[in-house]
Structure 1
Amino acid sequence: MANNVDVTNANFEQEVLNAETPVLLKFWAPWCGPCKAMTPVVEEVAEERQDSIKVVSINVDDAPEIAAEQGVRGVPTVVLFKSGAKVASLVGAQKKNQLSQFIDQNL
């Protein structure tokens, strides 16, 4: 995917908090069925909005500290950041139109 970056503890600050464009951060886990179902949705949105939004993913098993800091209690969860600040979050698998509406309403 052209616009999807894997985020870790090492690059979270650079990729999310210091990003110049708004960031859609997807929290997921390899054992999560709804996360797998949502992957193509996020990829499609990332492709369509590559000029206006950065899309990144973080595996909660690899970075539980970041998930805890961001208040993630379930996966999949998507969080919108703008200018390094958390703007909104959405829990659960979403359809493409729901995810697009979430982004539009919060940016």
Structure 2
Amino acid sequence: MEKEQVLKLTDDNFKEEVINSELPVVVDFWAPWCMPCRMISPIIEEIAKEYEDKVKVGKLNVDEAPHTASFYGIMAIPTLLIFKGGEVKEKIVGVISKETLASKIASYI
């Protein structure tokens, strides 16, 4: 069985999967009712496959993980945060192209 490339992040596993990660991590803060979130979802999945061994990619549903979303000041979705060494290095609000996201990720790997 193929392993899931996009991690499902929660308030409970965020520290272990993101903060303590040795790899850079792209976190997509989203909600199922958000249409722009649905637009960026395929891009997130493609990035996860293409950067499988270089970057971790996770999605955090803001309705199911309100504490983490609040802690990082997520006011609009989709918001992407790029973490490296447990710290936020980049914040991207709204839908962006795959190429733009890939170029931002490249500076952290």
TM-score (norm 2): 0.92
Partner residue of 1:33 out of 32, 35, 51: 35
Partner residue of 1:90 out of 82, 89, 92: 92
Query: Alignment length, in residue pairs?
Result: 107
Structure 1, gaps ≥5 residues long:
none
Structure 2, gaps ≥5 residues long:
none
Residue 75 of structure 1: aligned partner: 77
1:4-23 matched pairs, under 5 angstroms = 4-23=6-25
> How far did residue 106 of structure 1 move?
4.8
TM-score (norm 1): 0.94
Partner residue of 1:54 out of 48, 53, 56: 56
Same amino acid, percent of matched pairs: 39
* Alpha carbons 2:84, 2:108 under 8 Å: kept: no
* d(CA) in 1 for partners of 2:93, 2:81: 9
Structure 1 consecutive aligned stretches of length 4 or more whose deviation exceeds 3 Å: none
Q: What root-mean-square deviation, in Å, do the aligned CA atoms of Structure 1 and Structure 2 show?
A: 1.3
* d(CA) in 2 for partners of 1:30, 1:17: 24
